[in-house]
Amino acid sequence: SAVISQKPSRDICQRGTSLTIQCQVDSQVTMMFWYRQQPGQSLTLIATANQGSEATYESGFVIDKFPISRPNLTFSTLTVSNMSPEDSSIYLCSVRLLDRGSTDTQYFGPGTRLTVL
């Protein structure tokens, strides 16, 4: 299994500012993912972050709004730029690992609860 930590766990921010969320994993992983979960809704994939290459963004998400860094195999950051109240959400970091028995399992960090005023 993987132990994933995120910082900050929560924040309240002013409109127009930016917040960088950090994700640290206790093992080396090739693929890291950033998700958003808005209140009462399902998780939505923002982007896939591979070490050594640019992140791949899903439809509706762009690099200027959600720049991602992936400097090594255990760490990634997601920045929410020029925030508006619509960005209020939980942001989750996730990794995919091959468990014992060769089962691909996706693990999630505890999430960062963001409120934009």
Which residues sit at the interface with other proteins, rule CB under 8 A? 31, 40-45, 48, 92, 96, 103-111, 113
For other proteins, the closer of residues 81 and 97 by Cβ is 97
DSSP single-letter state for residue 82: S
d(CA 96, CA 30): 8
Provide, rounded to whole angstroms, the least separation between the CB of residue 116 and other proteins. 18
Whether the CB-CB separation of 77 and 69 falls below 8 Å is answered with yes
For other proteins, the closer of residues 13 and 43 by Cβ is 43
d(CA 89, CA 40): 10
Provide, rounded to whole angstroms, the least separation between the CB of residue 94 and other proteins. 8
Provide, rounded to whole angstroms, the least separation between the CB of residue 12 and other proteins. 16
For other proteins, the closer of residues 81 and 96 by Cβ is 96
Query: Which has the closest alpha carbon to 78: 110, 115, 37, 33?
Result: 33
Provide, rounded to whole angstroms, the least separation between the CB of residue 16 and other proteins. 27
Q: What angle do CA 99, 100, 102 make, to 5 degrees?
A: 70
For other proteins, the closer of residues 81 and 107 by Cβ is 107
